[in-house]
Chain A
Amino acid sequence: DARVTQTPRHKVTEMGQEVTMRCQPILGHNTVFWYRQTMMQGLELLAYFRNRAPLDDSGMPKDRFSAEMPDATLATLKIQPSEPRDSAVYFCASGLVRDGQTNLNTEAFFGQGTRLTVV
């Protein structure tokens, strides 16, 4: 059964430490999204990639956050150095955009999320 897989599910770290979150999109999907969920702000888009290239990372604080897709089966979101205000649930989602089109041809499928706590 195809699903988006995120690791780790939970992470507790001390302020100043580096945090790396990983996402395995659904096989065959070429578009990957990173969202962050907090009680105050709800769900916000941090970045998204198509065919491994970043299309929009305007929602991401550039000084400490970085997102990459080393290959089509792995997306990473890194925070260095982490701060308590980064505590949130980080979701990865994937979908398919066919060649020559701009809109998703599928729904966006979400992973279970990584719950990050920075103390």
Chain B
Amino acid sequence: KQEVTQIPAALSVPEGENLVLNCSFTDSAIYNLQWFRQDPGKGLTSLLLIQSSQREQTSGRLNASLDKSSGRSTLYIAASQPGDSATYLCAVKRDGNNRLAFGKGNQVVVIP
């Protein structure tokens, strides 16, 4: 069974600092990995999706890397802003099975 772990569970950073969020998974036979953002009381918004053949994806201030062999992904958020405060969830998908296995999230607070 795929286990997805996100460390740290919670962190606070001052505005302007770069954020580094880590996700690890136990089964490297993944099809893709997706990072989501969740605001309190809201649904999940997809941020980045990395296919298993890719090493990274970028969108604006966000960059996600994938090292499939070591079972790790890292989400970088450059020059953090108070509006980046949210929970960030990592989810992995196996080939041929559309079930997403989620981590429990990194809860981020950016202090103005």
Contact = CB atoms under 8 A, between A and B. Distances in A.
A33 B93 CA distance: 13
Interface string B51-80: 000000000000000000000000000000
B103 A104 contact: no
Interface stretch (A12-20, A63-71, A111-119): A111-119
Interface in B10-35: 31, 34
A1 interface: no
Contact of A107 (B34, B41, B102): B34
B34 A112 contact: no
A25 B100 CA distance: 17
B99 A115 contact: no
A110 B43 contact: yes
Nearest to B46: A107
Contacts of A112: 42-43
A35 B102 CA distance: 10
Contact of A113 (B43, B99, B105): B43
Contacts of B100: 33, 35, 43, 45, 108
Contacts of A93: 44
Contacts of B95: 102-103
B46 A56 contact: no
A46 to B, nearest CB: 10
24 contacts: A4-B43, A33-B100, A35-B100, A42-B103, A43-B102, A45-B99, A45-B100, A55-B98, A91-B43, A93-B44, A97-B98, A102-B95, A102-B98, A103-B31, A103-B95, A104-B98, A107-B34, A107-B46, A107-B49, A108-B46, A110-B36, A112-B42, A113-B43, A115-B41
Contacts of B103: 42
A95 B98 contact: yes
Given A31-B98, A97-B98, A102-B96, A42 B104 contact: yes
Contacts of A42: 102-105
Interface string A39-81: 0001111001000000110000000000000000000000000
